[in-house]
Structure 1
Amino acid sequence: MQEVKSILMVGVGGQGTILASNVLAEGLLKSGYDVKMSEVHGMSQRGGSVNTQIRFGEKVYSPVIEVGAADVIVAFEKMEAVRWLNYLKKDGVVIVNTVEIPPLSVLISKEEYPKNLIEEISKSVKTIAVDADKIAESLGNIKAQNIVLLGVLVKYLGLQGIDWEEVIKNNVPQKFVELNINAFKKGLEIN
Structure 2
Amino acid sequence: MKLFGSYTSPFVRHCRIVLAQHEQKFEFVPTDYAQSAQHSPAKRVPFFSHNGLQLHDSSSILRYLRTLAGEPFCADDEQFDLYCLVNTALDTAVNLFLLERDGVTAAQVPYLQRQQARVQSILDELNQREWPAADAGNDAHLRLACFLSWAQFRERLDIHQWPELQNFLASMNQQAWFANTHPALS
Q: Same fold (TM over 0.5)?
A: no
TM score, norm. by length of structure 1:
0.33
- Which TM-score applies when normalising by structure 2? 0.34
Greater share of helix: 2
Greater strand fraction, Structure 1 or Structure 2: 1
| Structure with bigger RCO (C-alpha 8 Å, 6+ apart) | 2
